[in-house]
Structure 1
Amino acid sequence: MTVSPADLASLLCSRLCHDMLSPVGALTNGLELLSEEQDPDMRQRCFELLEQSAHISASKLKFFRLAYGGAGHADDMVSLEEPRALIAALAGDNGRITLDWQVGGTQMARPAVKMLLNLAAIGMDALPRGGKLDIAGERGEQATELVVRASGTRIAFDPTIGEALDGSLDESRISARTAPAYMMYLLADNAGGGVQYMQQDDALILGAVLPQV
């Protein structure tokens, strides 16, 4: 079975909708509570929760637009301040993840930025109890190299995501959960590169090499 572009797009949409349900649902619940609540202190608390949910929703939408969106050309250069700010916002919204950014340069090709954002998202998902996210990368003359290390007291990583990343997962098993990782495999493979991962007791290490970007 071969995953068609339409099927992959459908799976990615399902994943994005799933990730947005929580903050958008919190907004809906907050508005319902606000309409019924009369106590000034509780109303203030509702406003704070609404503000927090709106911020998380906006952060995720901005992240998804750059990580999965098709705007722009593949050879476009993107300022690294944008992905850094997006990752920092999601880590900050989590409240339990600290970020160490060690990416060299000021710009990176759009495919490399997509890879960077997706690896960072996988790393954050692997830290349900919080931890540290180390991100390093460099754009050389021949290739762009990226490394994301998620470290914490508990690493939660679905092996099928790793198999989707390195291309060893059977396409019949591609799901909404593994579709972003599979898209990164395709991105790297089309560029003549690859993605690797290594899981340890207290860390998940993700790496990518994109020779043509």
Structure 2
Amino acid sequence: MTIATLDLASLLCSRLCHDLLSPVGALTNGLELLAEERDPEMRQKCMDLLEQSATSSANKLRFFRLAFGAAGGFGEMVPVAEPRALVDALVAANPRISVAWALADDMLPKAAVKTLLNLSLIGIEALVRGGTLDIAGEVRNGATELVIRASGPRIAFDPLVAQALAGTLPPAELSSRTAPAAMLYQLAQSLGGGFQTHVAADALVLGAVLPVR
């Protein structure tokens, strides 16, 4: 799979805009309602809507800044508390999903943190009816090993995402939905690592091994 850097960057930007459209649109609607509403109770509801939408927008921006961008500079290691807080904030918007963490180290290489965030997002999106997201990781034998397991009553997983992680996705099939997985594949390839994917009716397991350089 050969993907032009510009094409991949453009699709990642499209994905970011798509995910922010809903909370930003809700902010606009809330402001319009607030400008017209005079009833104190309804105005408070508008304020609550604005607060929720602003929080959601900020959480997503912080998440994507590290998942797609160069947040935190270009240092080699990132405290695990940072990606953990980002995933927890993202999941907080959906009370039907719970997260269980099992990270053995206080710091992880930045490439591993980007991978953890993006695989976690894939897992969250797979839990269309809610469920549990288990996130585990450790550095051993010169490599970071990550496992993300999404378990719930119904798993929604696009097979094109699996192809993108495996590096077998035809460039013509690349979209804003598969671009994050394609980015992960290129990142893993640059380190000599790779991914494993297993999907069943009630569980999705995503594994990554990324050599530390």
**Is TM more than 0.5 here?**
yes
Residue 2 to residue 185, structure 1, CA distance change in 2 (3 Å): closer
- 1:48 aligned to 2:36? no
Instruction: Classify the secondary structure of the residue corresponding to 1:156.
Output: coil
> Equivalents in 2 of 1:147, 1:185: separation in Å?
16
Instruction: Output one character per residue of 1:95-116: Cα deviation in whole Å (capped at 9) or x when no partner.
Output: 2110000011100010000000
Contact preservation (8 Å) 1:155, 1:203? yes
Aligned residue in 1 for 2:197: 197
Runs of at least 4 residues off by over 3 Å: none
Whether contact under 8 Å (2:109, 2:212) holds in the other structure is: no
Q: Does 1:169 align with 2:130?
A: no
Equivalences for residues 1-213 of structure 1 within 5 A:
2-71=2-71, 72-73=73-74, 76-213=76-213
How many angstroms apart in 1 are the aligned matches of 2:166 and 2:206? Answer: 10
Q: CA deviation at 1:212?
A: 2.6
Work out whether residues 101 and 134 of structure 1, in 8 Å CA contact, stay in contact via their aligned partners in 2: yes
**What is the CA–CA distance in structure 2 between the aligned matches of 1:114 and 1:120, rounded to whole Å?**
10
- For 1:88, the aligned partner's letter is D
The letter of the residue matching 2:58 is: A
Gaps of 5+ in 1: none
- Does the 8 A contact of 1:195 with 1:206 survive in 2? yes
Q: CA deviation at 1:70?
A: 2.3
Q: What is the CA–CA distance in structure 2 between the aligned matches of 1:125 and 1:33, rounded to whole Å? A: 30
| CA RMSD after TM alignment | 1.2
Query: What letter is aligned with 2:22?
Result: S
Shift of 1:94: 1.7
Q: Which runs of 5+ in 2 are unaligned?
A: none
Cα deviations by residue, 1:80-100 (Å, 9 ceiling, x for unpaired): 000000000011112211000
Q: C-alpha displacement at 1:173, in angstroms? A: 1.1
* Alignment partners' CA distance in 1, 2:2 and 2:99: 37
Contact 1:193-1:211 at 8 Å conserved across structures: yes
TM-score (norm 1): 0.96
Paired residues, number: 212
How far off is 1:189 after superposition?
Answer: 1.0
